[in-house]
Structure 1
């Protein structure tokens, strides 16, 4: 990735699902997925971070985009999340 290149984060879906083993007891699990793109197309190898302070303790989950810029953050406890990306050469 080139230094100074701008990016956009496209959150494709935020879906609440049925309870799964990864979510704390009594909470429903959710997932966030999308595609990170730059001026020249999808961005591979970018960190995507989902974080919330809505739970009793601060909760964050980090995933890395695939070769097509896609990401999936699974098994999130139900809450409001801030989502951002971090990658070499990306500008906020």
Structure 2
């Protein structure tokens, strides 16, 4: 999602009008990466991991303190999750998102 500077006096980019699109498509440094995790009991935690795509360093600082050592991490196929699980000796399962016809 795009980063909001609402109420800020000094921003590092040109201001956007309401509804205006980002200058770059897809994942870019203009967008904020939000990590959302849910356990089997239904507890949800969320973190803003920074701008751009998720990284192993951001996963270590945000996810490591809240995840158990014997946990199974189910993610999409991003390489940062695979590297994080390997470094922390976690079980990792990749769930692919299949597109629906229609």
Q: What TM-score range do you get, normalising by the shorter chain?
A: 0.3 to 0.5
The structure number with the bigger radius of gyration is 2
Structure with more helix by fraction? 2
More strand by share: 1
- What TM-score does the superposition give when structure 1 sets the normalisation length? 0.32
With structure 2 as the length reference, what TM-score do the two structures score? Answer: 0.30
